[in-house]
Amino acid sequence: MTDKLYKQVYQILKSRIQEGIYGIGTYLPSENELCKMHGITRTTARRALDELQKEGFIVREHGKGSRVKERRQTLGLLTVKGFSEAVRENVRTVFLQRPTLRAWPESFAFSPDKKERSRYSIYFERLRGVGDFPVMLECNWFASPGFEELLQIEFLEGSFFKTLSKKYQLEITGSEQELRALQADEKVAHLLKIGQGAPVLNISIRFITSRTNFHIYSCLHCNTEKYPIGNIYHRL
């Protein structure tokens, strides 16, 4: 019974963090307050908070409490953090294709499984930049069932991952990446303002999520002339 109670409290707190009820930098109720709110023991409250700390949602500060922190989960080369948050100033995002239903492409660096391919994907395409300097052409696909509302609404604060977290309680838990040096075709060259045939960094990603067998597939074409990509590379 104790296991069930701590998981319930953990899930309630996690959902409230994801929904922004407990914002970044704020403190969760104390262990004593959680006991009174949920009718639990301090041991149960502590286990729920320990789980949140383990998953990177909070940091325990001696004498102060449990503070909600910004999650910066490193995934191999990439770090899951908004492009806008990473650059912070003078960010420019242009939707080249707003979310729409589309058949899956024939080829992928990481191929969707049969169940994913049996349904239409939701696809969107954006150009990300700093001021007038284009940095990245970004294409994204994911299986459509349960996410049709994204065809009609705006992303929260312009962030796809933040929308998944706050609206659907879905988190990115891992990824696989493949990097290649490619020559820019006519479309990529035009959008990134480089010469056709110029080298670009292509990053193919399969994001693993907290929902079983649900993945997000991304293809990024990066102009590294001014902004190099390193092991602190950030993505939306």
Averaged pLDDT for residues 201-222:
91
State whether 43 and 110 are in the same domain: no
State whether 140 and 24 are in the same domain: no
CA distances in angstroms from 38 to 21, 23, 117, listed in the order given: 17, 21, 43
Mark out the alpha helices in 19-74 (DSSP H runs): 31-38, 42-54
Which of 21, 46, 68 corresponds to the end of one domain? 68
| Nearest-angstrom CA–CA distance, 207 and 64 | 35
State whether 93 and 63 are in the same domain: no
Which of 35, 68, 101 corresponds to the end of one domain? 68
DSSP character at residue 57: S
Task: Specify the CATH number for the domain of residue 128.
Answer: 3.40.1410.10
The model's confidence at residue 176, banded by pLDDT at 50, 70 and 90, is confident
pLDDT above 90 (res 189): yes
Quote the number of domains for the chain.
2
**Closest among 229, 221, 224, 223 to 138, alpha carbons compared:** 221
Q: Model-level pTM?
A: 0.69
pLDDT above 50 (res 129): yes
Q: What is the pLDDT of residues 47-58, one digit of tens each?
A: 999 989 887 788
Neighbours of 99 (CB within 10 A): 22
Angle between helices 42-54 and 31-38 (to 10 degrees): 110
Which pLDDT score, from 0 to 100, does residue 88 have? 52
Neighbours of 193 (CB within 10 A): 12
State whether 99 and 150 are in the same domain: yes
Q: Return the H-helix or E-strand segment holding 199.
A: strand 199-209
State whether 79 and 55 are in the same domain: no
State whether 102 and 195 are in the same domain: yes
State whether 80 and 175 are in the same domain: yes
Averaged pLDDT for residues 180-194:
94
State whether 124 and 198 are in the same domain: yes
- As a residue count, the chain comes to 236
Which of 48, 68, 88 corresponds to the end of one domain? 68
State whether 173 and 59 are in the same domain: no
pLDDT above 60 (res 234): no
Task: Specify the CATH number for the domain of residue 24.
Answer: 1.10.10.10
SS3 33: helix
Q: Which two tokens stand for residue 71?
A: 């999650």
Is residue 151 within 8 Å of residue 99, measured between CB atoms? yes
HSE, side-chain direction, 13 A CA sphere, residue 192:
28
State whether 229 and 207 are in the same domain: yes
**Closest among 124, 115, 120 to 212, alpha carbons compared:** 115
The model's confidence at residue 229, banded by pLDDT at 50, 70 and 90, is low
State whether 63 and 95 are in the same domain: no
Q: What is the extent of the structural domain holding 141?
A: 74-235
pLDDT above 60 (res 1): no
State whether 35 and 55 are in the same domain: yes
